[in-house]
Amino acid sequence: GEDVEQSLFLSVREGDSSVINCTYTDSSSTYLYWYKQEPGAGLQLLTYIFSNMDMKQDQRLTVLLNKKDKHLSLRIADTQTGDSAIYFCAERSGYGNNRLAFGKGNQVVVIP
């Protein structure tokens, strides 16, 4: 089955870059996603990457995918206080049922 691992906590100064890492186990994953959860709110889809890509850039966000090592990262450039949240990576199984397996989340705290 799918298993997604994330580290727990990251503190970063405003204006710096932050990098959040994630490893997954299901080699059949077709899409990998990054979601953001602000306190008391639902999950907001930030970006996703298809498994045949190794990089995707979307404004301040850069997603890197190392399929060989099953490693996914999210880089946030010029981190803002509004980026303080919990970030979840998720993988979609390749088996057609659109099941998402989520990591445990990584809390990012931006220090002004």
Which residues of this protein are in contact with other proteins, per CB under 8 A?
A: 31, 33, 35, 37, 41-45, 48, 50, 86, 88, 92, 97-100, 102, 104-105
Least separation in angstroms between CB 104 and other proteins = 6
Question: Cα separation of 106 and 88, whole Å?
Answer: 6
Cα–Cα distance between 88 and 90 in angstroms, integer? Answer: 6
Task: Tell me the closest approach of the beta carbon of residue 98 to other proteins, in angstroms.
Answer: 5
Beta bridge mates, 20: 74
Q: Which amino acid is at 27?
A: S
Min dist CB 15 to other proteins, Å, is: 27
CB of 2 or CB of 14, closer to other proteins:
2
Selection from 13, 11, 10 nearest residue 22 by Cα: 10
